[in-house]
Amino acid sequence: GAVVSQHPSWVICKSGTSVKIECRSLDFQATTMFWYRQFPKQSLMLMATSNEGSKATYEQGVEKDKFLINHASLTLSTLTVTSAHPEDSSFYICSASSVANYGYTFGSGTRLTVV
């Protein structure tokens, strides 16, 4: 079945630094990738939608200059949290879909802690 690999699974960084999270579709081409964020006891909230080769579409309230998304190939999308602050600490998870993919395949998520 379709597999999405997400790395790292957890990361601790100092306030002010940047963190990159990778999301790879291993056995299918992902034309669209989604990035979600989940705060404790809250539902997953869509941050942005990225299509291969084009700029990402951000949801209202998500700063595009802070959360940089790159979807340079059909198998890789990256989310970079720039100048991270403690309030950015959250669970980030990606999802990929393709024309041939039935349903949505999620990565295993990244637990980001900013200290």
Counting contacts by CB under 8 A, is residue 22 touching another protein?
A: no
Q: Specify the stretch interacting with another protein by CB under 8 A; choose among 11-19, 70-78, 81-89, 96-104.
A: 96-104
Q: Are 74 and 52 in contact (CB under 8 A)?
A: yes
| Cis? peptide before 86, omega within 30° of 0 | no
Which is closer to another protein, CB of 13 or CB of 44?
A: 44
Q: Specify the stretch interacting with another protein by CB under 8 A; choose among 11-19, 61-69, 70-78, 104-112.
A: 104-112
17, two tokens? 């630094």
Residues 24-83 that bind another protein (CB under 8 A): 32, 34, 36, 41-46, 49, 51
Burial 12-41 (b: 16+ CB within 10 A, else e): ebeeeeebebbbbbeebebbbbbbbbeeee
Q: Which residues bind another protein (CB under 8 A)?
A: 6, 32, 34, 36, 41-46, 49, 51, 91, 93, 95, 97, 102-109, 111
